[in-house]
Structure 1
Amino acid sequence: MSLPPDTRSAPSRWSRPLRFAHVAIVGKYHAPGARSAVDEIAQFLHGEGCDVSLEQETAANTGLQQYPALDVPAIGQACDLALVVGGDGTMLGIGRQLARYGVPLVGINQGRLGFITDIPFDSYADTLRPMLRGEFAEDARALMAATVWRDGRCVFEATALNDVVVNRGGVASMIELRVEVDGHFVANQRADGLIIASPTGSTAYALSAGGPLLHPGIGGWVMVPIAPHTLSNRPVVIPSHSEIAVEIVSGRDASANFDMQSLTSLLHGDRIVVRRSEHALRLLHPVGWSYFDTLRKKLHWNEGT
Structure 2
Amino acid sequence: MHKKSIAIYGRAFNASVVPYVEQLFAYLKNKDIHIYIHADFYNSLKVQYDCSSDFLMYHNHEDLPQDIMFLLSLGGDGTMLSAVSQVRDLGIPIAGINFGRLGFLASINKADMIQALDDIFAGNYTLQPRDLIEVSGNDKAIFGNENYALNDITVFRHDTSSMITINATLDGELLNSYWADGIIIATPTGSTAYSLSCGGPIIMPGSGNFVITPISPHNLNVRPLIISANSVLELEIESRTDKYVLSCDSKTEMLDRTTKLRLQRAPFQINLIRLPSDSYFSTLREKLLWGLDVRNY
TM-score > 0.5, shorter chain as reference: yes
User: Which of 258, 261, 266 is the equivalent residue of 2:248?
Assistant: 258
Q: 1:111 to 1:60 in 2, by over 3 A?
A: same
1:69 aligns with 2:69: no
DSSP-derived class of the 1:99 partner: helix
Partner of 2:270: 281
CA distance in 2, matches of 1:273, 1:227: 22
DSSP-derived class of the 1:254 partner: strand
Question: What count of residue pairs does the alignment treat as equivalent?
Answer: 285
Give a deviation string over 1:218-265, Cα, whole Å, max 9, x none: 111100001111111111111111111111122334211111x21111
1:300 aligns with 2:289: yes
Aligned pairs for 1:138-157 within 5 A: 138-150=127-139, 153-154=140-141, 156-157=143-144
CA distance in 2, matches of 1:86, 1:156: 23
1:28 aligns with 2:11: yes
| Structure 1: gaps spanning 5 or more residues | 1-16
- Shift of residue 304, structure 1, vs aligned partner: 4.0
Partner of 1:3: none
Letter in 1 for 2:131: A
- Shift of residue 30, structure 1, vs aligned partner: 3.5
Give a deviation string over 1:1-59, Cα, whole Å, max 9, x none: xxxxxxxxxxxxxxxx99x9211111232432455433321221221232222111111
Contact 2:34 / 2:56 at 8 angstroms: preserved in 1?
A: no
* TM, length-normalised to structure 2: 0.90
- Shift of residue 284, structure 1, vs aligned partner: 0.4
Partner of 1:43: 26
DSSP-derived class of the 1:42 partner: helix
CA distance in 2, matches of 1:170, 1:211: 26
Aligned pairs for 1:131-170 within 5 A: 131-150=120-139, 153-154=140-141, 156-157=143-144, 158-170=147-159
- Shift of residue 200, structure 1, vs aligned partner: 0.5
Contact 2:76 / 2:99 at 8 angstroms: preserved in 1?
A: yes
- Shift of residue 156, structure 1, vs aligned partner: 4.9
Contact 2:73 / 2:95 at 8 angstroms: preserved in 1?
A: yes
Contact 2:181 / 2:217 at 8 angstroms: preserved in 1?
A: yes
* CA RMSD across the alignment: 2.0
* TM, length-normalised to structure 1: 0.87
Q: 1:51 to 1:154 in 2, by over 3 A?
A: closer
- Shift of residue 170, structure 1, vs aligned partner: 4.1
| Structure 2: gaps spanning 5 or more residues | none
CA distance in 2, matches of 1:284, 1:155: 29
CA distance in 2, matches of 1:53, 1:226: 41
CA distance in 2, matches of 1:208, 1:266: 25
- Shift of residue 78, structure 1, vs aligned partner: 4.2
Q: 1:251 to 1:31 in 2, by over 3 A?
A: farther
CA distance in 2, matches of 1:34, 1:28: 12
Identical positions, percent: 31
Contact 1:142 / 1:161 at 8 angstroms: preserved in 2?
A: yes
Partner of 1:178: 167
